[in-house]
Amino acid sequence: MGLRTIIVLAALMGSGSLAATIRPETASADIPGHPGVVNDTAEGAGQKEELPLEELEEDVMATGELNPTHFPAQRAAKVVQHYLNTRYGSPYKLFGLEKVYSGNAEDVEGSGRRYQLEVSVHEIINNATQKCSAEVFFPLGEKSLSPQVQASSLEELLKKSTAVEEEALFQKYKLNQSLLSAHNLPDSHGHIEPDMEPFWHLGTVASSFVMLKESTESTLYNMAQVANITQQPTEDDQLKFDCHTLLHDMVSQEILHWKLLFTWSPAGGVKVLQMEQLPNCQRCEKPQNTL
């Protein structure tokens, strides 16, 4: 699989019908501008030119106008995707970053760095795309402080109502005699059974809470897999899930394991009650699907 294909598949995060196979040995081929990432412009001729480390480090903390294809703009824009999923994501709404048109970074003295971005965002399930403006602020200091995000002009992405589908799904699993349990969404071939796709979407939305919280100017997270998701009994008017998700840190090439406890209802949306990073399993095989 060519490097450009991998980049596009990684950016289209979240569609259960998308079979994207990314092998561990090629997974580091991401966006230009990261140490260890090679320029693929001469890939067809078998030539790869490694970018100078000093140039890359300077690029990561660039100020002023940014190259929209390089890491500083791409990393900040990816945070917008996670933010939209935490605000509007559901079993039938899932957001992905499609393109960065422009970016600008400025230091805010004593408090952090602000990015002004023009991006297009894709609502994957209903196949709606809209260009919008966004601001991402990375605060200085404690790592626990999440980026602050504002986004405008989202009417096209949000106009389609999914209330009927959500209510039907909610009632089906609220009244089910047996509690749902599913594993490996997607499987090693990138496949998800159609009736399990809403739970892949729910796991992805819940994981966006983690990815938003953990994002910094030096990270780039993608969803890799819902390793397992199990419905928990509850007497509240919501569904509760225990979920083990795998996230792909595109910078370090690590697969990060997170345990989440979250609820969902059509009225309340997704709410993450607990999140815990699990120790990495050194002998575990990396998932081949990173979306």
**HSE-up of residue 62 (Cα within 13 Å, Cβ side):** 20
3 pLDDT above the threshold of 50: no
For 123, 163, 208, 267, the CA distances from 160, given in Å and listed in that order, are 10, 9, 21, 16
Q: What is the pLDDT of residue 141?
A: 76
Instruction: Give residue 104's domain range.
Output: 45-158
Q: What is the pLDDT of residue 140?
A: 87
Domain count, the chain: 1
Distance CA 93, CA 85 (A): 8
- pLDDT tens digit string along 265-274? 999 999 999 9
- Is the pTM above the cut of 0.85? no
Q: What is the pLDDT of residue 38?
A: 25
Residue 119 lies in a domain: yes
Residue 210 lies in a domain: no
Query: Average pLDDT in the 194-199 region?
Result: 97
Please provide the average confidence, as pLDDT, over all residues in the chain. 80
Query: Average pLDDT in the 278-287 region?
Result: 62
Q: What is the pLDDT of residue 25?
A: 30
Residue 122 lies in a domain: yes
Distance CA 226, CA 216 (A): 23
Q: Please report, for the chain, how many H helices and E strands are present, in that order.
A: 6, 12
Which CATH number goes with the domain that contains 127? 3.10.450.10
Residue 72 lies in a domain: yes
Q: What is the pLDDT of residue 281?
A: 61
Residue 147 lies in a domain: yes
181 pLDDT above the threshold of 60: yes
33 pLDDT above the threshold of 70: no
214 pLDDT above the threshold of 90: yes
Residue 180 lies in a domain: no
Residue 124 lies in a domain: yes
46 pLDDT above the threshold of 90: no
- pLDDT tens digit string along 218-251? 999 999 999 999 999 998 899 999 999 999 999 9
Residue 114 lies in a domain: yes
- Provide the percentage of residues in the chain whose pLDDT is more than 70: 74
Q: What is the pLDDT of residue 62?
A: 77
Q: What is the pLDDT of residue 212?
A: 97
Q: What is the pLDDT of residue 41?
A: 26
- pLDDT tens digit string along 108-148? 988 999 999 999 999 999 999 999 999 999 998 766 689 99
